[in-house]
Chains A and B, each alone.
Chain A
Amino acid sequence: MRVLHSQKLTTPRPPLATSISKWRRAVPLYVMLLPTVAYFLILTYYPLVHSVFISLQNFNLIGNRPFVGLQNYQAVLSDPNFWAAFRNTLFLGASILIIGFFAPIVIALSLNEVLQQWAKRTLQMVIYIPHLFSWVVVGGLWIQLLNPAGGLVNAVLHAFGVPPVQFMSDPNTARWVIILVSVWKDVGFNCILYLAAIVGINPELYNAARVDGASHWQEVWHITIPSLIRTMQVVGLLSIMGLLRLFDQIYVMRNAVIEPKVDVLMTYVYDQGFTQMNIGQATASALLILVATLLLTLLTRRLVQFEL
Chain B
Amino acid sequence: MRGTRTGGRALFVTVNLLFLALIAATMIVPLWNAVVVSLSSNFGSMQPGIQMWPRQFSVIGYKTIWTVLNLWQPFENSVIVSVFGTTIHVLLASLAGYALAQPLLPGRRVITSVILISMMIPFEAIMIPFYVTIQELGLLNTLVALILSGAVSGFSILLMRNFFQSIPNDILDAAEVDGAGHFYRLWRICMPLSKAGLATVGLFEFVGRWNNLLATVLLINDSSKDTLQVALNSLVNQGSAASSGELVTTNVKMAGIIIAILPLLFAYPFVQKYFVKGIFLGSTKE
Interface positions of A (Cβ within 8 A of B)? 1, 4-5, 7-8, 11, 13, 16, 22-23, 25-26, 28-30, 32-33, 35-37, 39-40, 42-48, 50-51, 54, 61, 107, 110-111, 113-115, 119, 123, 125-130, 132-137, 139-145, 149-150, 152, 154-156, 158-159, 184, 187-188, 192-193, 196, 206, 216, 219, 234, 241, 244-245, 247-248, 251-253, 266, 269-270, 273-274, 279, 282-283, 286-287, 289-290, 293-294, 297, 307-308
Q: Is B237 an interface residue (CB 8 A)?
A: yes
Chain A: interface secondary structure?
A: helix
B residues in contact with A244, CB < 8 Å: 122, 125
B residues in contact with A143, CB < 8 Å: 236-237
Q: Is B247 an interface residue (CB 8 A)?
A: no
A residues in contact with B13, CB < 8 Å: 113
The answer on a CB contact under 8 Å between A136 and B120 is no
Tell me, rounded to whole Å, the shortest Cβ–Cβ distance linking A1 to chain B: 8
Are A36 and B27 CB-contacts (below 8 A) given A8-B177, A132-B268, A137-B257? no
Interface centre among B96, B129, B218 (most CB of A within 10 A): B129
Are A42 and B98 CB-contacts (below 8 A) given A36-B92, A143-B237, A155-B49? no
Tell me, rounded to whole Å, the shortest Cβ–Cβ distance linking B44 to chain A: 11
CA distance A123 to B177 in the complex (A): 51
B114-164 CB contacts (< 8 Å) to partner A? 114-116, 118-122, 124-133, 135, 148-149, 151-152, 157
Number of A-B contacts defined by CB within 8 Å: 277
Considering only CB atoms and an 8 Å cut-off, how many residues of chain B contact the other chain? 106
A residues in contact with B171, CB < 8 Å: 1, 4
The answer on a CB contact under 8 Å between B148 and A43 is yes
Instruction: Name B130's contact: one of A43, A111, A149 (CB within 8 Å).
Output: A43
Q: Is B31 an interface residue (CB 8 A)?
A: yes
CA distance A298 to B93 in the complex (A): 26
The answer on a CB contact under 8 Å between A4 and B237 is no
Q: Jot down 24 A-B pairs with beta carbons below 8 A, ordered by A.
A: A22-B104, A23-B106, A35-B151, A36-B115, A51-B128, A110-B16, A123-B24, A134-B260, A136-B213, A136-B232, A141-B30, A141-B257, A144-B34, A150-B47, A152-B30, A154-B48, A216-B2, A244-B125, A245-B122, A245-B125, A251-B213, A253-B237, A269-B128, A293-B122
The answer on a CB contact under 8 Å between B182 and A29 is yes
Q: Which 4 A-B pairs have the closest CB atoms?
A: A134-B211, A4-B174, A47-B129, A140-B236
A residues in contact with B11, CB < 8 Å: none
Q: Is B95 an interface residue (CB 8 A)?
A: yes
Are A270 and B237 CB-contacts (below 8 A) given A36-B96, A152-B33? no
Q: Is B17 an interface residue (CB 8 A)?
A: yes
The answer on a CB contact under 8 Å between B20 and A128 is no
The answer on a CB contact under 8 Å between B120 and A294 is yes
Q: Is B62 an interface residue (CB 8 A)?
A: no
Residue-wise, chain B 245-259 has the 8 Å CB interface mask toward A (1 for contact) of 000001001101100
Q: Is B241 an interface residue (CB 8 A)?
A: no
Q: Is B99 an interface residue (CB 8 A)?
A: yes
A180 to chain B: closest residue by CB = B26
Q: Is B167 an interface residue (CB 8 A)?
A: no
Tell me, rounded to whole Å, the shortest Cβ–Cβ distance linking A10 to chain B: 9
Are A26 and B213 CB-contacts (below 8 A) given A7-B177, A43-B149, A110-B19? no
Q: Is B72 an interface residue (CB 8 A)?
A: no
A residues in contact with B10, CB < 8 Å: none
CA distance A113 to B47 in the complex (A): 42
The answer on a CB contact under 8 Å between A139 and B24 is no
The answer on a CB contact under 8 Å between B276 and A248 is no
B269 to chain A: closest residue by CB = A125
Q: Is B68 an interface residue (CB 8 A)?
A: no
The answer on a CB contact under 8 Å between B48 and A136 is no
A residues in contact with B118, CB < 8 Å: 40, 44-45
Are A29 and B102 CB-contacts (below 8 A) given A115-B3, A150-B250? yes
Tell me, rounded to whole Å, the shortest Cβ–Cβ distance linking A294 to chain B: 6
CA distance A305 to B183 in the complex (A): 38
Are A282 and B174 CB-contacts (below 8 A) given A26-B105, A140-B236? no
Are A140 and B232 CB-contacts (below 8 A) given A8-B177, A29-B182, A32-B96? yes
CA distance A156 to B50 in the complex (A): 7
The answer on a CB contact under 8 Å between A140 and B2 is no
CA distance A184 to B31 in the complex (A): 14
CA distance A165 to B130 in the complex (A): 41
